[in-house]
Amino acid sequence: MILGIGTDLANIDRIAGTLERFGDRFRNRVFTDIEQRKSERRRDVAGTYAKRWAAKEACSKALGTGLRMGIAWKDMSVRNLRTGQPVMEVTGWARDRLDELTPPGFDAVIHVTLTDDHPWAQAMVVIEARPRPAPSA
């Protein structure tokens, strides 16, 4: 069952300007250490940050709150599996909200996809509830 869907479109040039203007203050307020390391290693630093920005916005929408009600930017974090697939991890208030949305007997799975085509970065998040397997006898 689908619990929430969110999408966001971010302008890479706007994120580049924000990075240039505010630097570490912006990075440290919005992005986790893992996200910063990933972004700073990439050729397109601003594009990588922009995709993660869009993913956080999309996740907050899928949670049904947007960026309000106590959710913090760092409560949502994008990391990549060894295959390169992005995954969204939530902590803090975002985790509390996800737990609140998830029906008893189900586990929540957050699906995220990222793409960019300069000057745009886009993310889509789908939150799915999967029934827990029955305990084996």
pLDDT digits (tens, 9 = 90+) for 106-137: 999 999 999 999 999 999 999 999 999 877 76
| Mean pLDDT score across all residues of the chain | 95
Q: How far apart are CA 31 and CA 101, in angstroms?
A: 25
pLDDT at 66: 74
Query: So what's the pLDDT on residue 64?
Result: 92
- Give the start-to-end residue ranges of the domains of the chain: 2-131
| Residues contacting residue 116 through CB under 8 Å, at least 6 positions apart | 12, 44, 47, 50, 51, 122
Tell me: the pLDDT tens digits for 52-87? 999 999 999 999 987 766 678 999 999 999 999 999
Decide which of 3.30.70.2860, 3.30.750.24, 3.90.470.20, 3.60.20.10 is the CATH code for 2-131. Answer: 3.90.470.20
At residue 137, the pLDDT reads 66
What pLDDT score does 63 carry?
A: 95
Average pLDDT score over residue span 6-12: 98
Confidence (pLDDT) at 23: 95
pTM of the entire structure?
Answer: 0.93
